[in-house]
Amino acid sequence: MLELKRLTLNDGMDIYNMLQEIPKEENGLMNGAKGLSFSEFKKWLAKQYQLSVQEGVKDGWKVPSTTFWLFADGTPVGFGKVRHCLTDALRREGGNIGCAIAPRFRGKGYGNAILRLLLEQANEIGVQKALVTIRTDNVPSQAAALANGGVITDKTDERLYIWIDTDEARRSRSSFPEA
């Protein structure tokens, strides 16, 4: 059974250990918890929580964003973030959604599943169309975005720009098998 859970201040060692498995920089997604001690991780959680409740853009670039954990049968297997809005810089590099699966859980459909669930969350917070920017060499993430209804609207030497209608992703949920 798959479950997407929102970050809480009470998240513990299971989340911490999963985040230590994911590289600090994963195809453009930053894992700010990588390499932190457990007490530093708890402070990091508090900062991430504050980003989810902030209003408007701070410091010219920090937008509200919510972090989620993907659990498979009670075990955390990955994480993702939904940015509630975009700046010009985030439209070029970043997008609305980023996610990563711990290496030992890859190749099992979790990337596709977490993106689908994050699209539903984006829809719930009012993001009608979500942008995902994916490096051109990240074929699994490209496949997940396209499988979730994504449309490539631009391409550079470094990345693809894929927009996904979040309402359509929410409506088509029943057509996706559980990973």
Q: What tens digit of pLDDT does each residue of 114-159 get?
A: 999 999 999 999 999 999 999 999 999 999 999 999 999 999 999 9
E strand intervals along the chain: 2-6, 25-26, 29-30, 65-72, 75-83, 97-101, 129-135, 151-155, 159-165
Q: How confident is the model at residue 107 (pLDDT cuts 50, 70, 90)?
A: very high
Residue 45 vs residues 15, 49, 74, 93: alpha-carbon distances, Å: 10, 6, 20, 24
Name every residue whose Cβ is closer than 8 Å to that of residue 58 and which is 6 or more positions away in sequence.
Answer: none
| Angle at alpha carbon of residue 48, lines to 19 and 166, rounded to 5° | 90
Buried b (16+ CB within 10 A) or exposed e, 45-75: beebbebbeeeeeeeeeebbbbbbbbbbeee
CB 159 within 8 A of CB 136: yes
Domain architecture of the chain: domains with CATH: 2-175 (3.40.630.30)
**H-helix or E-strand containing 4?**
strand 2-6
Contact 118, 79 (CB under 8 A): no
> pLDDT digits over 5-54, tens only?
999 999 999 999 999 999 999 877 899 999 999 999 999 999 999 999 99
Residue 177 has pLDDT above 80, yes or no: no
